[in-house]
Structure 1
């Protein structure tokens, strides 16, 4: 096991200490991804060459309805040039969709109805798009994403060129290389080249690869852990086979109902547990005790 020194990266520590992945994905019912070439700062929406007023307003309007805004750019050199840019909007709940459109001015996105997007309505915006993988490479946020994310991008971009984007912070840089599949919102950590191949092949077939899976963004953190517990119990790989409802809170756990589209359902108790030893959850931060979510099926 590696020493927990200040010189050790947060991702190396997380992996060496075998921090569990389930229940660690960002929570978002839908995703808006705006192409923004050039450098990104720590808070990419406000500290890139995107107009910070537009970035702040997009974030405010989208987050009010559970929609997450990301900046994206093509792998490889990304000079800060003006001109048309691509936009992706994906709805992450079962039966969701991914749409794409090229725009001239990011201010056009302020006309979007984020409430309807969060409810699963695209209203004919853009055109249908194939699944994509967003790999976090936001080095100004955390050096693990810069080093490990870009290393992974270099290995996979030629083979998966049309399906890969670099993206700003997605949450959980200690799990770098970290990535999000759209439209499903399934989020991965500690990705290898082989896992990327498996995840994209599964997505194209309407399935989900369980290797390195952290959770589906459409669910709460407890819901993510519960869904993965049922998937592993069944060996279920169909992407939209399961839906999640939180049913009740107890003093020790959250009881989550997981429903299969064939009519079966399960009750899953999800309990938080603090992990030892303390370690930084981001490079350069103070050591803390992370919380993992333990899921136990209590009634099939």
Structure 2
């Protein structure tokens, strides 16, 4: 049994498991990917390593993406699509462009991407332009985990037929045990256990600069990665309680001792007390790996 099937059977929540990132960069790379895709693909490994390192060093995340099409059609194109999502702490924005050489991505102002607004980035990077619709990246890195092949790739293929050009397979995002998983841009929300309907709702909401209420709750909402896990869980819980879809409406501040204060722009405040609890059984977090202690977040009280 795959790791995601085991976690589904046990029914454990996905809250607080989003990959940490203050911005996202996605670079098109067709063809096969190895387990360490940035250095194990048709991409020059030196360039791939430099892009991945630049993003991590700046507090963000870089992913490789490819079109969800038949493997035999996965040929390199003369230009590559690039997405850049930022502004995650306020009003998220999404830029896109094409580069002839992957090394051009290294010209991004990496050290400032976590804080720059879209206008500033556009002034500095002439090959980027604004994108006013959402994009969904679905983990399909089968060399990293079997679940990505069995669950991620089929749903990416189906979504591409219904939403052509707006859904991409992407490399490792963590959380194989919640496959199929996806990253919604520009909000940076990480979604677990994707379905076609939930993906469609997420894209529609992203077009309007919102989060989809269909993604709320512990079964699907892994959180937004610019937040510390404890804050991401508290924010996600308040969104589920209120149905608030505006990404900029809530501010979560860790008060210590697993207590988070969540403030709404309208003045409402929630104090959320949480616990990181250990499941009685050990479970595998990735296919083929040994079972380990399974820890998940729970909300103990809200006032």
TM-score scaled by length of structure 2: 0.91
Q: Is the 8 A contact 2:190 2:224 kept in 1?
A: yes
Q: 1:88 matched to which residue of 2? A: 83
**For 2:205, which of 193, 202, 205 is the aligned residue?**
202
- Aligned-pair distance for 1:222? 1.0
Asked if the contact 1:226–1:268 (Cα under 8 Å) also holds between the matched residues in 2, the reply is yes
State the 1:194 CA deviation: 1.2
Sort the Cα spacing of 1:156 and 1:82 in 2 relative to 1 into closer, same or farther, 3 A: closer
State which drifts further: 61-70 or 10-19. Answer: 61-70
Distance, in Å, in 2 between the alignment partners of 1:243 and 1:120 is: 19
2:50 maps to: 57
How many angstroms apart in 1 are the aligned matches of 2:96 and 2:209?
19
Aligned position for 2:292 = 288
1:236 and 2:244 correspond = yes
- Residue 108 of structure 1: how far off its partner (Å): 1.3
| Partner of residue 266 from structure 1, selected from 265, 270, 286 | 270
Q: How many residue pairs align between the two structures?
A: 288
Give the counterpart of 1:183 among 178, 183, 186.
Answer: 186
Name the structure 2 match of 1:277: 281
Give 5+ residue unaligned stretches, structure 2.
Answer: none
1:213 aligns with 2:221: yes
Instruction: Please give the root-mean-square deviation of Cα atoms over the aligned residues, in Å.
Output: 1.5
The equivalent of 1:18 in structure 2 is 11
Paired with 1:259 and 1:114, the residues of 2 have a C-alpha distance of 30
* 1:128 paired residue among 121, 124, 130: 130
Taking the aligned partners of 1:200 and 1:127, their CA distance within structure 2 comes to 19
The answer to whether the Cα contact below 8 Å between 2:281 and 2:294 also exists between their aligned partners in 1 is no
Correspondence 1:66 to 2:64:
no
TM-score (structure 1 length as normaliser): 0.91
Shift of 1:157: 1.2
Contact 1:90 1:183 in 2 (8 A): yes
Name the counterpart of 2:41: 48
Shift of 1:96: 1.6
Shift of 1:187: 1.0
